[in-house]
Structure 1
Amino acid sequence: MTLQPEGDPREIVGTAQAAEEKALEAALRPKALDDFVGQATVRAQLSLLLQSSKIRGTAADHVLLSGPPGLGKTTLSMIIAAEMGAPLRITSGPAIQHAGDLAAILSSLTEGEVLFIDEIHRMSRPAEEMLYMAMEDFRVDIIVGKGAGATSIPLELPPFTLVGATTRAGLLPGPLRDRFGFTGHLEYYSAGELEKVLRRSAGMLDIDVTSEGFTEIASRSRGTPRIANRLLRRVRDWALVHQIPTVDQHAASDALNTYEVDTRGLDRLDRAVLEALCTTFRGGPVGLSTLAILVGEESETVETVAEPYLVREGLLARTPRGRIATDAAWRHLGLTPPAEIPGATLEAEDPHDPAS
């Protein structure tokens, strides 16, 4: 009888690699406001808020950070805790589906602790209503029992700072938004700011990259530091395998082309959407579900992953009749647009129209 080793060695290696990637990503995060690149207005406002709270010797006001993913909301929450010299508790909106879940977290907070709730707009309604009182009065009411015999027990909480992050601020109820003492909106980064992010990360990763190489990577990073750092790590892998000691513009371009990231930062899914619109439907209009079937993805994936960047880059437009490719999309694909694109009137989309 042959004895088989317990577990699959590939699983152990995969787990080790995943842990290394997470540790590397954590190491690349700046630890202080002075090291945080970009978002100058939000940084200046947060600095004033934190300095004032330290002078007063009290917990900082609650902070709401909104903006697209990958711009540094989680990093800023860590910096807030570090600047205040306070412990940080991290959770997410989807993980808090019952008021009891939130009560368990709040009741274990210590004085001055920073509670970070990512995707706070996805909390359940009962938890939101409990959070109102906790944020304003540092108190929650615990309901014991059911029906006519139920009683409410007030639980006093130590002063704490809530940092909420959301990619969809419009979904937050008004009463919750109003209880935040400071609201900061994070914007996409410029190419110059992304180059600063990449230079700092390259130093920590011990990669030799020329100025032109940084410019090439930054130009394909969609204005997002998280994507920039991810592409830098993939360029590092390519350079190691090809034994390239210094990454210049040509090497960075070859590496990113290998990973199907083109000169405008479009990936496979982005180009598939544009190619389906241009080659199959002569530019549109096309309904979202039809487009999703053509590219082999779910409708939600196309709408939330591909569309925002394509619309921001002016390559795709949403009309009452469906999605259309703009002239810029045709040019980017190296195609000649038809003399007149059917349905290309850029009217405001109708949220009640199934095509939209």
Structure 2
Amino acid sequence: MSDVERTEFELPPDLQRQASSRPDDAPVNPVAQAGEQDVEKSLRPKSLDEFIGQPKVREQLSLVLTGAKRRGVTPDHILMSGPPGLGKTTMAMIIAEELGTSLRMTSGPALERAGDLAAMLSNIVEGDVMFIDEIHRIARPAEEMLYMAMEDFRIDVIVGKGPGATSIPLEIPPFTLVGATTRAGMLTGPLRDRFGFTAQMEFYDVDDLTRVVRRASRILGVEIDDDAAVEVASRSRGTPRIANRLLRRVRDFAEVNGDGHITLASAQGALAVFDVDELGLDRLDRAVLGSLIRGHGGGPVGVNTLAIAVGEEPGTVEEVCEPYLVRAGLMARTGRGRVATAAAWRHLGLTPPDNAPGML
């Protein structure tokens, strides 16, 4: 018997009704769960023709891959650069699919030692595509080994330690390295120069994102009105990953509060529940703007001060919030700190001062 005394209490009436209407014996259906996961995977396009947006990158990649296939050689190494969520990983999968080869995936932070990379390269089959996400974060010893692998298709494996150590050259079959980075400026010159083609992924416009939302809704088996699809797309910050995520949350709202059909009203209601406003700003974005304007008169303010005010790490504010706020014209970065623009003041329902950036 526990020494802690149990306390009886009553649920509020609304929670009592919810509890009584919820079936007690309704566990997660494993078949439905597996099917849901398969559907989520199917949201990724499987070919360049199926990929929506990025027309220039698709055209360039098509030339690179088609030319290599006609010559019967492996394509040059490919670097995918751009902000998160634009389809760099998906594009790497498409490259392997177009070439009819296997895709071996890893990430820069996982390659801490040269031996980690050597283990992966030793299992490479000729023509394989090796994908390294966040390649700018690869450790220096592994990066130096990667130079030789990319250029000469061989690596030197060190056997033993101290004066008796021996370097054994290991030939590896020709392969194509696909690197993805969100911080191209952090790549070293020698690594960047070894890529034969660099694809710069751009943010999506609303029309392309609307096509992404409609495609995803068809795959998810969800009916969505045209104006609702535009509403979700316009709040997705130019990013397909966010568009697909918001669509799933809107789907939840429509199923719980209606018949599952997504109308403009249900889309707006769902996005309001999940704190996504008409510009795509979430709670943290608005907290940063609110601190900048209400707490510091619109700036200039340092990023550390803003981070403390909103209870986040400086890196989160700088890497998650700032890029979109700057791109949306709501914040300006100056030598003295961050400054709120006139559009930011108006977005929060406030009158901007005469010296706010963007005032006419």
| Aligned equivalent of 1:339 | 354
The corresponding residue for 1:354 is: none
Offset of residue 20 of structure 1: 7.1
Provide the residue aligned with 1:232 in structure 2.
247
Please say if 1:309 is aligned against 2:309: no
What residue is the counterpart of 1:116 in the other structure? 131
* Deviations 1:9-51, CA, capped at 9 Å, x for gaps: xxx9699999777544321000011000001011011111111
Residues 1:296 and 1:158: Cα distance change in structure 2 (over 3 Å):
same
Rounded Cα–Cα distance in structure 2 between residues aligned with 1:272 and 1:326: 15
1:145: how far off? 1.6
Aligned to 1:145: 160
Q: Which amino acid aligns with 2:253?
A: W
Q: Number of aligned pairs?
A: 333
- Alignment CA distance shift 1:276-1:199 (3 Å): same
The alpha carbon displacement at 1:126 in A equals 0.8
The code of the aligned residue for 1:50 comes to: L
Q: Which residue does the alignment assign to 2:203? A: 188
Over 3 Å counting, the alpha-carbon distance change for 1:14 and 1:119 in structure 2 is farther
Following superposition of structure 1 onto structure 2, how do residues 134-283 of structure 1 map, counting pairs within 5 Å? Answer: 134-283=149-298
- When residues 13 and 321 of structure 1 are mapped into structure 2, their CA distance, relative to the original with a 3 A threshold, is farther
**Which residue number corresponds to residue 338 of structure 2?**
323
- What does 1:1-12 correspond to in 2, within 5 Å? none
1:178 CA drift (Å): 1.0
Contact map agreement 1:119 1:165 (CA 8 A) in 2: yes
TM-score, normalisation: structure 2? 0.89
Q: 2:302 aligns with which of 272, 277, 287?
A: 287
Unaligned stretches of 5+ in structure 1? 2-11, 346-356
**Structure 1 residue 81: Cα displacement:** 0.4
Give the secondary-structure state (helix, strand or coil) at the position aligned to 1:38: coil
Question: Does the 8 A contact of 2:255 with 2:261 survive in 1?
Answer: no
Identity of aligned residues (%): 63
* 1:349 alignment partner in structure 2: none
- Whether 1:100 aligns to 2:115 is yes
One-letter amino acid matched to 2:219: M
What SS class does the counterpart of residue 281 from structure 2 fall into? coil
Q: Distance in 1 between matches of 2:137 and 2:35?
A: 30
Larger Rg: 2
Per-residue CA distance 1:40-69 (angstroms, 9 max, x = gap): 011011111111111122211111000000
Structure 1 match to 2:62: 47
Take 2:166 and 2:172, find their aligned partners in 1: how far apart are those partners?
Answer: 19
Task: Name which of 32, 45, 58 aligns with 2:73.
Answer: 58
Task: Encode CA deviations 1:270-312: one digit per residue, 9 max, x unaligned.
Answer: 0000011111111111121111111111111111111110011
Matching residue within 116, 122, 125 for 2:140: 125
Cα distance in 1 for residues equivalent to 2:338 and 2:209: 31
Report the alpha carbon displacement of residue 244 of structure 1 after superposing the two structures with TM.
Answer: 3.6
CA–CA distance in 1 between the matches of 2:69 and 2:329?
Answer: 45
